[in-house]
């Protein structure tokens, strides 16, 4: 990455959608929407609710599926010459492994980001609730091993913040051979309309993102950075260069700009420029000097 800024999966489509706002090759990398083997239609609407300083979403992993991605979407990003982080989602370790293998074989990605923040079908049956894969360090290890052994591409494991101690799944990813971890996915939340007494999302619950979650995300990056030797891509509520620098100081090696792009489509490139200005203002020649440099 020529700069430490990428975009958060699911908030930037497959890159081309933002073409008319700025040249996406100015980013350190483009991260795709989660890709599954088959296309997915996602959940019924309403699937987005605005909340104070953020939003709840229950998109339900709608995506075009791997084949259409390789045919219709990847050539655009490859033509731009920008590094591509392909975010993948599956039901089993084998599905993740197949996605990684086929993305590498088609030369359609420079790195894999495995979204392990979705419900675990097998655990859900046992626990009768929506258990998330990365809530179990054992499952993180199992899924990560399968992906890492299927590809030579760098593998980043994206973790849910809906846990007591983020260091546990993060360490499990490291031990299983992950190149790095991506923190954080959304915090599970719910909103109810008092007039109708109905949940505002058709899916009832959804994922909270936006500036409201930033302090939680910064703290989780800080916790994980002290436990890990591998790099962290930090995200959660980044809206400005100053927000991005918070994550670097907490220990992230790169950052991802998420749902702020819905309100300000060129936010990510503004943040690239803002970080460069900050480095000049502070006489810093290498952005890596900021990584973990918080003085506690």
Ligand X SMILES: Cc1cc2nc3c(=O)[nH]c(=O)nc-3n(C[C@H](O)[C@H](O)[C@H](O)COP(=O)(O)O)c2cc1C
Neighbouring-strand partners of residue 232: 181
DSSP state of 164: S
Out of 6, 36, 43, 87, which residue is the one contacting ligand X (CB under 6 A)?
87
Minimum CB separation from ligand X for residue 195, in Å?
Answer: 25
Minimum CB separation from ligand X for residue 125, in Å?
Answer: 23
DSSP state of 69: I
Cβ closest to ligand X, residue 267 vs residue 287: 267
Asked whether position 11 contacts ligand X by CB under 6 A, the answer is yes
Query: What is the token pair recorded at 227?
Result: 């436990």
Cβ closest to ligand X, residue 77 vs residue 259: 259
- Return all residues near 91 (Cβ < 8 A) that are at least 6 apart: 121
How many Cβ atoms are within 10 Å of 101's Cβ, its own excluded?
A: 16
Minimum CB separation from ligand X for residue 35, in Å?
Answer: 9
118 is catalytic: yes
Site string for ligand X, 139-178 (x = CB under 6 A): -------------------x--------------------
Out of 90, 237, 251, 274, which residue is the one contacting ligand X (CB under 6 A)?
237
Residues 244-273 touching ligand X, rule: CB under 6 A, are: 258-259
Minimum CB separation from ligand X for residue 186, in Å?
Answer: 5
Instruction: Tell me the DSSP string of 125-162.
Output: HHHTS--BGGG-HHHHHHHHHHHHTT-SS-EEEE--S-
At 182 the three-state DSSP class reads: strand
Asked whether position 203 contacts ligand X by CB under 6 A, the answer is no
∠ CA 123-124-129, nearest 5°, is 130
At 232 the three-state DSSP class reads: strand
Q: Are 291 and 252 in contact (CB under 8 A)?
A: yes
Q: Which one is catalytic: 74, 118, 221, 267?
A: 118
Asked whether position 59 contacts ligand X by CB under 6 A, the answer is yes
Cβ closest to ligand X, residue 47 vs residue 78: 47
Asked whether position 206 contacts ligand X by CB under 6 A, the answer is no
Asked whether position 61 contacts ligand X by CB under 6 A, the answer is yes
- Part of the chain binding ligand X (CB under 6 A), chosen from 20-28, 72-80, 172-180, 209-217: 209-217
At 266 the three-state DSSP class reads: coil
At 120 the three-state DSSP class reads: coil
**Taking CB positions, which residue lies at the least distance from ligand X?**
10
Out of 232, 235, 255, 267, which residue is the one contacting ligand X (CB under 6 A)?
235
Query: What is the token pair recorded at 148?
Result: 């890492």
Asked whether position 80 contacts ligand X by CB under 6 A, the answer is no
- Part of the chain binding ligand X (CB under 6 A), chosen from 54-62, 147-155, 221-229, 283-291: 54-62
Neighbouring-strand partners of residue 149: none
The position carrying tokens 């792009």 is 261
The position carrying tokens 């300083």 is 53
Q: How would you label 136-168 residue by residue, b for 16+ Cβ within 10 Å and e otherwise?
A: bbebbbebbbbbbebbebbbbbbbbbbbeebbb
Asked whether position 86 contacts ligand X by CB under 6 A, the answer is no
Question: Binding residues for ligand X, per CB under 6 A?
Answer: 8-11, 33-34, 57, 59, 61, 87, 115, 117, 158, 185-186, 209-210, 213, 235-238, 258-259
Give the catalytic positions in this structure: 118
């Amino acid at each position: 990455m020529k700069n430490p800024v990428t975009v958060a999966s699911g908030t930037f489509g497959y890159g081309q959608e933002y073409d008319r706002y700025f040249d996406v090759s100015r980013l350190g990398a483009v991260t795709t929407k989660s890709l599954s083997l088959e296309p997915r239609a996602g959940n019924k609407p309403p699937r987005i609710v605005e909340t104070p300083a953020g939003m709840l979403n229950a998109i339900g992993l709608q995506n075009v599926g791997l084949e259409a991605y390789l045919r219709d979407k990847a050539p655009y990003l490859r033509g731009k010459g920008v590094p591509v982080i392909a975010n993948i989602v599956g039901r089993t370790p084998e599905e993740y492994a197949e996605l990684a293998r086929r993305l590498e074989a088609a030369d359609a990605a420079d790195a894999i980001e495995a979204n392990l923040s979705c419900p675990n079908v097998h655990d859900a049956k046992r626990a009768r609730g929506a258990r998330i894969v990365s809530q179990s360090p054992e499952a993180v290890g199992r899924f990560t091993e399968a992906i890492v052994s299927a590809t030579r591409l760098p593998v980043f494991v994206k973790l849910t913040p809906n846990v007591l101690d983020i260091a546990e799944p993060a360490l499990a990813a490291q031990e299983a051979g992950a190149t790095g971890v991506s923190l954080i996915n959304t915090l599970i939340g719910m909103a109810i309309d008092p007039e109708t007494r109905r949940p505002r999302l058709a899916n009832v619950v959804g994922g909270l993102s936006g500036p409201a979650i930033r302090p939680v995300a910064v703290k989780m990056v800080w916790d994980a950075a002290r436990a890990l030797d591998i790099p962290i891509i930090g995200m959660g509520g980044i809206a400005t260069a100053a927000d991005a620098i918070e994550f670097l100081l907490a220990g992230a090696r790169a950052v991802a700009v998420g749902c702020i792009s819905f309100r300000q489509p060129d936010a990510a490139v503004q943040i690239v420029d803002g970080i460069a200005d900050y480095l000049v203002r502070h006489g810093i020649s290498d952005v890596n000097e900021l990584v973990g440099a918080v003085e506690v």
